[in-house]
Chains A and B, each alone.
Chain A
């Protein structure tokens, strides 16, 4: 499965009041295209989706917050995983779509191939985590989503996806529109 197929597959598993932070580049375009709108679609600030998701989860403790990030973005903001592990907001979920590459910029390799994500997550103080290869075991995806979303603790799911990415159209909303539409959710 490709990253966009994984994002699209999540559509039936999430409720409309879930809040999503999506990392700049392809990931935010996939979330914009396949999941309920509006959400936070980052245009820049590479490396910051985890910190933004943490802040959002602390501001809205009664709503579930899901962060979608690619592996390049995740690695740039790696120390934010330690901060999440230190705070562990019960409503926060992190999905790492790992295609091993900076796909938006032409598929240059990231350093992800030498990482052990399960050891990394455990070492950062994350209590609930899993890893799934969606290329080899796509049928296990819905079960993994259910475990991720139904718990009552911070949880992280690392998903290996294909690197044969097709770049989607850019998000047509201006950043200020994204902010205003998102803030309207809270009245």
Chain B
């Protein structure tokens, strides 16, 4: 498991000073650490598209933030992505939990979105990487570099157990 405190320090070291989002249990540890962090200010959003709006506004104020959400939020942020972040070419890093990967009778609500998550990101023209414990810094480095170089939205998919038990 990646240490969430280390991840926060790492992102702060790359210029991120705010995060916004809607929680997912896959990010439980990350939210605990964000709560404690004096490096990154977390703004709780009511919806995922609102989190994208907050992050875009923060960028237009000259500062960098990232967004955290469950993959169900990918359905909600379509207009915020296409007619705001991508239209204005705003660099934005999304941490999205990859739910619904395995048949899970307790949580059927995730299975259909789990099947189409990568197709949706492809359809939105959002480049993505899947985060693993091994070499996680390299994955995040590549994502940040792509985000800055191309002024674009980049997504990091986070599977179960990578950032929280």
Contact = CB atoms under 8 A, between A and B. Distances in A.
Given A44-B79, A186-B61, A55 B88 contact: no
B60 to A, nearest CB: 6
B77 to A, nearest CB: 10
A48 interface: yes
A72 interface: no
A52 B49 CA distance: 10
A56 B20 CA distance: 13
Given A77-B50, A83-B50, A86-B44, A52 B56 contact: yes
Interface secondary structure of A, over-half rule: helix
A80 B47 CA distance: 8
A75 interface: no
Interface in B113-160: none
A83 B45 contact: yes
A186 B62 CA distance: 7
A85 to B, nearest CB: 11
A19 B82 CA distance: 24
Interface string B23-61: 000000000000000000101111101111111111111
B57 A179 contact: no
B38 to A, nearest CB: 15
Nearest to A46: B79
Interface string B72-114: 0000000110111001111000000000000000000000000
Interface of A: 19, 21, 40, 42-60, 77, 79-80, 82-83, 86-87, 175-176, 178-179, 182-183, 186
24 contacts: A40-B60, A42-B84, A45-B80, A48-B84, A51-B50, A51-B53, A51-B57, A52-B53, A54-B43, A55-B18, A55-B20, A55-B60, A56-B57, A57-B61, A58-B43, A59-B18, A59-B61, A80-B50, A83-B45, A175-B89, A176-B89, A179-B88, A179-B90, A183-B62
